[in-house]
Amino acid sequence: MYREHTKVIQIGDRVIGGGHPILIQSMTNTKTEDVKATVEQILALEQAGCEIIRCAVPTMEAAKALTEIKKQIHIPLVADIHFDYRLAIAAMEYGADKIRINPGNIGARERIQAVVDVAKERNIPIRVGVNSGSLEKELVEKYHGVTAEGLVESALDKVKVIEDMGYDNLVISIKSSDVMMCAKAHEIIAKKTTYPLHVGITEAGTLYSGNIKSAVGLGIILSQGIGDTIRVSLTGAPLEEIKSAKRILKTLGLRKGGIEVVSCPTCGRTEIDLIGLANRVETLVQDIPLDIKVAVMGCVVNGPGEAKEADIGIAGGKGVGLLIKKGETIRKVPEEELLGALREELLHWNEGQEAKQNE
């Protein structure tokens, strides 16, 4: 597993690399200068499971706002910098736990050196980010287009620039909206460096297409033991990114905890609004800290049998709701009371399990 051999990097009070758990990131979409709105969004993201947050720092006012934002949040804050090296320096001085730069768009070597000097003085990690959309012209010509090999060479060139300045507190990200190119680039770079990798499919798209592309791309990369921190990039609310990231990690067996909701596809036997019910169940269980599987079934005929692999399941139709444990119906309730009965069972789940063990 590549992840076990990556360098350990500390970001605020969290660590990535060296086989530590993969941390979930997102990025605020508020104006960073608006401290109140930014803090509110970050606190909601924390509650959902975000472990590192990135904020855009396009102005000096945004850099200065980091101090006040940091006082009110509980996760490491990464400053996202483009073009202006002075903003990178200011972000670190105002409290950023990490900065994200592309040395290629920071400018002259002395400007990169100025940023690295402050990072070194404060021991602040730098995430070196390379994007397929901004790959250098000479690399595009060398590889006859934008390729995985070109992305890797670009990233390692930039890493070497910073290493030559005497600094190696680095994280690398190589992103592309092309899923297979992105996966191939990660496979190549994982063999060439031990720096931890921030993984994501950039500009993945809307909730629908973005989730599919991210699940496929991250699934391929993470299943090979590559990647130390992830972001699911979606054109949507940042909270959706966290939900998707948690589900991807859980599906790959890289994270435990949280109720998994499974549901049958709709068919001609369905006697209930199954789509609406499954969505309501998913919302209902979000704040319940259990590591179990809940099945949502569309008919009372096959529901109990189909829910056998789940710890608990529900099925409904024709005004009747069933609560099912391991394929056995344990309660029958009016259909409109089904969600309430399920939540009650889940809230008292551990009590029921303890009672069972004591029998």
Tens of pLDDT, residue by residue over 93-138, are: 999 999 998 887 787 889 999 999 999 999 999 999 888 888 889 9
> Containing domain of residue 150, as a range?
2-251
Strand residues in 200-327 grouped as ranges (E): 229-231, 260-263, 293-297, 312-317, 320-325
Count the domains in the chain: 2
- Averaged over 55-76, what is the pLDDT? 97
225 and 334 within one domain: no
Identify residue 161 by its one-letter amino acid code.
V
Polymer length of the chain: 359
Q: Note the pTM of the prediction, 2 decimals.
A: 0.85
Confidence band for 292, pLDDT divided at 50, 70 and 90: confident
Q: Of 232, 251, 270, which closes a domain?
A: 251
Instruction: Choose the weakest-confidence range: 12-21, 82-91, 139-148, 285-294.
Output: 285-294
Amino acid 284: pLDDT:
84
Which of 233, 251, 269 corresponds to the end of one domain? Answer: 251
Sort 348 into a burial class: Cβ within 10 Å, 0-12 / 13-18 / 19+.
exposed
Q: Are residues 267 and 183 in the same domain?
A: no
pLDDT digits (tens, 9 = 90+) for 317-358: 777 888 888 878 888 888 888 888 888 888 888 875 555 555
Is 192 in the same domain as 270? Answer: no
Domain limit, last residue, from 194, 224, 251 = 251
What's the half-sphere exposure (Cβ side, CA atoms, 13 Å) at 48?
Answer: 24
What value does the mean pLDDT take over residues 46-70? 96
Per the CB < 8 A criterion, the answer to whether 232 and 248 are in contact is: yes
